[in-house]
Amino acid sequence: PWANRWGPGGELGIEGGIPIYTFGKYRAGKKAAVAGITAAEYERDRTLARVVFDVRRAYFGTQLSLDLQAMITEGRDTLRTAVAKLRIRLEADDPRVKQTDYWRLTSPLSPIVSRDSEALRLEASARAALEILSGIAPAVVPECPLEAVQSEVIELGDHIDRALASRPEVHQLQAARSARDANLVVKRAGYLPDIVLALRASFARTPGITDIQNPYVIDRGNFAGAFAGLIAQWKLDFGGTHARVKAAKAEIESLKAKTSEAEQGIEIEVTALYEALQDAKRRLGSWTRSEKETRKWFVSAGQGYEVGTTSARQLVDAIEAYFSARSKRLMATAEYNLAIAGLEKATNVPMVSEKGWRPVDCEE
């Protein structure tokens, strides 16, 4: 009472509740949490697939640059040898050679030096990327010729089916749909109360007030007790609950549209990669045949130039044809391997065995 003497007092209390029945809120919340963990795990798989593809791209880029450098060195040495011999014949006033032959042989040297510079730039950038992505420095690439990897050959429709069944993005969307469905259950359950087992214990002491022991008098200043009971927590905001239910339904419809869009995007991506693979495969076969044919021409022209039966023009034409076909075959091989790596990433299904990505019969 106001008339009593005022003084310090204190109370210590603890209270809580254990949900007994929540009309689906608890189970739906747990389902949403599990869906969030699942989505995070698939994001990890997605990141790993992207890193693997980037490592393979850097690896094949490094290998391609080394093969191009070896090819350029061979072509440059062949030309320089022919130029040196022609200079000797010119200085000896050989009537079978002309000054124009000398210019014709030396003219391709500058483009060759330029191509060598491009190959060196490709090696530097690809090797740096390989070291950063793999964490291995220096990145050592085996001294092996660039060859096409052997992969499983299946139809485009099978690749698309694999992608739709295995892509981490698809599983993430499925997990998101599960979370949205659980959220809708929670929002709908807002119309109903939560049945809770409530527990409370408190202890109060006020030294300035007499501790009354009469059980029929409530002493708020000096008190000790514990309570338990069933309670119903009910939010009577039915208008707000209705709006939240509508918003949850709209989120589900939006996710359905995004899922459909993602599936169409995956189909387009896989189709583009598949066609890129087929294109690289056709070009690889064509340039492989061209390389073999122009190699014979190159060898024949070189031998003919040695004995004087082939002109400088014919030698230059043979060199340009052979090394052009060889460089295009190397680039088609790298593109073919990258297309397979890209298709593996797009479908999330291995197309090449683990050993198939390693050079065959080549010491590292």
Which pLDDT does position 288 carry in this prediction?
92
Which pLDDT does position 243 carry in this prediction?
93
DSSP string over 245-291: HHHHHHHHHHHHHHHHHHHHHHHHHHHHHHHHHHHHHHHHHHHHHHH
Query: What are the tens digits of pLDDT across the range 29-49?
Result: 899 899 989 888 888 988 999
pTM, two decimal places: 0.75
- 3-state class (DSSP) for residue 149: coil
Q: Is the pLDDT of residue 363 over 60?
A: no
Q: Which residue has the tokens 């040297």?
A: 109
**Structure token digits, residue 125:** 């950038």
Which pLDDT does position 364 carry in this prediction?
44
* 123-132, 204-213, 279-288: segment of lowest average pLDDT: 204-213
Query: DSSP class of residue 145?
Result: -
| Residue 66: how many other CB atoms lie within 10 Å | 21
Query: What are the tens digits of pLDDT across the range 52-86?
Result: 999 999 999 998 999 998 888 888 888 888 778 77
* 20-29, 214-223, 271-280: segment of lowest average pLDDT: 214-223
Which pLDDT does position 100 carry in this prediction?
78
Q: Is the pLDDT of residue 152 over 90?
A: no
What is the pLDDT of the chain when averaged over all its residues?
86
Q: Is the pLDDT of residue 323 over 80?
A: yes
The C-alpha atoms of residue 168 and residue 42 are separated, in whole angstroms, by 5
Query: What are the tens digits of pLDDT across the range 217-236?
Result: 878 888 888 999 999 988 88
Which pLDDT does position 268 carry in this prediction?
94
User: How far is residue 36 from each of residues 22, 48, 125, measured CA to CA in Å?
Assistant: 21, 19, 38
Which pLDDT does position 359 carry in this prediction?
62
* 94-103, 179-188, 347-356: segment of lowest average pLDDT: 94-103
* 3-7, 148-152, 183-187, 317-321: segment of lowest average pLDDT: 3-7
- Residue pair 357/59 in contact by the 8 Å Cβ criterion: no
- Residue pair 230/195 in contact by the 8 Å Cβ criterion: yes
Beta bridge partners of 225: 202
